[in-house]
Structure 1
Amino acid sequence: MRPAPLLVLAALLLLPGCENRTPPPSPSPGPGNGESITGRERLGWDQQASSAAELAAFRYAIYVDGVRFESTGVSCGTTAGAAGFTCSGQLPPMSAGTHTLELATFTVDGGVRESARSSPLRVFVTGVTPSEVTGRGWIDGVAGETVDGVTLHVDRLLDGFLQPSDAAFAPDGRLFVAERAGRILILAGNPAQVATALLLDDLPPDGGLLAIALHPEFVTRRTAYVLSTSLSSRNLRVFRLARYRELAGVMAQRAILLETLAPADASAAMRFGPDGMLYVAFGSGSVNPAPGTDMGKVLRLNPDGTAPRDRRSASPVISSGHVAPSGLAWRAGSAWLWLADGTGRGQEWLAGVSAIEEVPPVIWPLPPAEPSSSLAYYGGDLIPEFRGDLLLGSIDARQILRVRFAADDPARVVSTEPLLRDQVGAIRVVLSGPDGAIYFLTDQSLGRIRPRPEIERR
């Protein structure tokens, strides 16, 4: 295999040692502005450090059009030259077109300390083939037949996303897409017009935008809820629940409703329930949550973040013991809230929680190789055979898992069926659309599942 081409940013990034609290100087830009690239190159730079040991403590952030990504696959030389150690790292995913790149160095030691960004480098991404963007062999067309005889058709609708973490449809048909790095996009129209509604610029390097939910009365209230991990005023890692007002495609007027301690490997999920209350699941990660924290718990909250008067106890907590929740979903006509949960180490499960009775949760184990990334309930009419089923997206298993329940027991799973396995790549988000189709997001693309059109059946 030939090594990837190198896009060189001749910048010297200086990060002071632990004893020096002076902000680092801004990096100097290098030549190469306006280069055409495919997006498969590596970004190269010279890094100053007092020793190889100090160099090993450095991490690197690449800003693409102001959106922060931690550089992966970084490698550096073992000896320093006149300009420092020669380093390179992988570029984050980028859509075709013009982008601005900036580079910074940071350390994490009781808090994040990051250098100033380099001067911007402009590049033009010529684009890659659809199979490279969207996953192996993803082409529009028939995607297989289900066990109950439904022939499914898959469409690739739009490319250019950057690691989506959640999505929500508004009543007017617009789609809000949250990306892990802190950007929220709104897709409207057909063909879709994409606009940035919000850009969170205060996320720590190991944090991220985890979930988005729209108020059930969004048409009149215009309020959207955003769940992320951030740093508190005391420099502690926290889950942050914030409410925004959306107007003309822009999310503003932030109100922070809740901040609560978060583990380093934070995960969370959030949805409104049929009772109009906001349900938020906070993961405990690999730590044993300390008493008095919300880690590992599911909270039932008023839309303003307060505890409801009709809560079952003095606390808004309705369930606990959750390690890494990745999705919440309600089945229509049922009091059961379902959570996708797991350890990420071969132990994954669905947890059914009753919102009206204090009964132990129902636990249904998932196959070890099928950790979930999102969860959705299908209640549409376009695919009647799927009505009442749960859909679990999976990054590792590269599929959507269809979960079916007993007709006489909404808490008993009777069968599962994989959909789109290895056809479209890693599936980060799955949701049911207002038109009855099933929508999903991969690392970079938006897709749709629907029954095979009648015209193709003849």
Structure 2
Amino acid sequence: MRFQRLLLAATLGLATVLAQAQALKPVSVARGLQHPWGLAFLPDGRMLVTERPGRLRIVSPDGTLSAPVAGVPKVDARGQGGLLDVALDPEFATNRLVYLSYSEPGEGGNSTAVARGQLEGNALTNVQVIFSQQPKINSAAHFGSRLVFARDGRLFITLGDRFGQRDEAQNLANHIGKVVRIERDGRVPSDNPFVGRNDARPEIWSYGHRNVQGAALHPATGELWTHEHGPQGGDELNLTQAGRNYGWPVVTSGREYGTGFKIGEGTSKSGMEDPLRQWLPRSVAPSGMVFYTGERYPQWKGNLFIGTLREQALIRLELDGTRVVREERLLTNLRERIRDVRQGPDGWLYILTDNNDGQVLRLEH
């Protein structure tokens, strides 16, 4: 099994080298953002962009940045923590609700939380926390966290294992290393897979995750796809289904940092889900993900795009169902950490570059 995966990785790597990329022209839409993390488009064409230190900005089409939006919850902006993802309520046009994920300080340390509030001018009002990962840990790493609304209006929240708590990803009694699913007001859906079990948190959708920083709904099936960071190698792309165990840290193709020692029991085990794609032996550090459904790049319709931090590229995956048949790396000459990738209402792809002078870029041709 491991040999087959390595062969697949080598084959896909060769396809990457041989692929002929469509010429992309990154056009700067806005700059001067400090470590931008998440992006959401407003109905009027403006964008909401989070900055990891704790600011939410409204970005006009001409690139003008608003003053920081008032009402954003206090964040613990250390290490990988801070203000993270942003999403609009499916009924935003009538209720004006905006959802934010962030590292929430509290007794015991911090954890990933989600708050929502109504956008009124340049402020969030009636802000309330609708989810708070338990327990809080004294850590500055592995918060997740992407926000995705399912077709039924429920909210998926991806969470990390907090780096020093890897074994807890297998423990259903907490939110460490999980994907959770809640109603838009924070209530638990009655059909969540672990509802009614005394040994499990009812919000849990799936478990055995390391650090999930990409999530998107498949445009045809409506199913949740996620990707997560491996340790030294072993980044994964997964079809993330209800009640399933994705293995971390029992099974992984990644290795311990520094030593290269094996982690867990191997690379596959009955009762644990195999990834759809792995990156070996080098981690690409994936962040952000979108299925492309527009018309600007017609030959790429249905492809999956993934931003990368370590690899400093935009990865394009061609799919046959759930099988990856080709991989291509784009924007390698940009030499930027790509934190997020989104499809705009105009059909162009937009990316966020992760640095002290971060940008919103539109990918034209």
Deviation at 1:167, TM superposition (A): 1.1
In structure 1, runs of 5+ residues without a counterpart are: 1-145, 453-458
In the other structure, the counterpart of 1:391 is 305
How big is the shift at 1:204?
A: 5.3
Query: Is the 1:166–1:178 Cα contact (8 Å) retained in structure 2?
Result: yes
| Counterpart code for 1:346 | G
What do the CA deviations read for 1:389-433 (whole angstroms, capped 9, x no partner)?
111111111110011110xx2x21111110101324221121111
Q: How does 1:314-329 map to 2 (within 5 A)?
A: 314=195, 315-329=202-216
CA distance in 2, matches of 1:381, 1:355: 32
Q: How do 1:236-247 residues align onto structure 2 when only pairs under 5 Å count? A: 236-247=109-120
Higher strand share: 1
How many residue pairs get aligned? The number is 302
Deviation by residue 1:140-159 (Cα, 9 ceiling, x = unmatched): xxxxxx94774322212221
How far 1:377 sits from its partner (Å)? 1.9
8 Å CA contact 1:338–1:350 kept in 2: the answer is: yes
* Displacement of 1:284: 0.8
Shift of 1:190: 3.0
Aligned partner of 1:382: which letter? R
The one-letter amino acid paired with 1:218 is: F
2:248 aligns with none
**1:63-82 equivalences in 2 (<5 Å):** none
Match runs of 1:266-415 below 5 Å: 266-268=142-144, 269-286=146-163, 287=165, 288-289=167-168, 291-314=172-195, 315-354=202-241, 361-363=273-275, 364-367=277-280, 368-406=282-320, 409=321, 411-415=322-326
Letter in 2 for 1:423: L
Identity across aligned pairs (percent)?
Answer: 26
Sort the Cα spacing of 1:424 and 1:445 in 2 relative to 1 into closer, same or farther, 3 A. Answer: farther
**CA offsets, 1:342-395, max 9 Å, x none?**
234222111111359999645020242411122122121211112111111111
CA separation of 1:148 and 1:396: change in aligned 2, threshold 3 A: closer
Q: Corresponding residue for 1:177?
A: 49
Write the mapping of 1:57-456 to structure 2, written as runs, cut at 5 A.
147=19, 150-198=22-70, 199-203=72-76, 205-206=78-79, 207-232=81-106, 234-260=107-133, 261-263=135-137, 264=139, 265-268=141-144, 269-286=146-163, 287=165, 288-289=167-168, 291-314=172-195, 315-354=202-241, 361-363=273-275, 364-367=277-280, 368-406=282-320, 409=321, 411-442=322-353, 443=355, 444-450=358-364, 452=365
Partner Cα distance (1:395, 1:382) in 2: 25
Go from structure 1 to structure 2 and tell me whether the alpha carbon gap of 1:304 and 1:298 turns closer, same or farther (over 3 Å shift).
same
Q: Distance in 1 between matches of 2:20 and 2:90?
A: 33
- Which position in structure 2 is the counterpart of 1:82? none
Unaligned 5+ runs, structure 2: 1-17, 196-201, 246-270
Contact 2:30–2:63 under 8 Å retained in 1: no
The structure with more radius of gyration: 1
Distance 1:421 1:262, change over 3 A: farther
Greater relative contact order, per chain length (Cα 8 Å cut-off, separation 6+): 2
CA contact (8 A) 1:335 1:356 kept: no
RMSD over aligned Cα, in angstroms? 2.4
Contact 1:183 1:200 survives alignment (8 Å): no
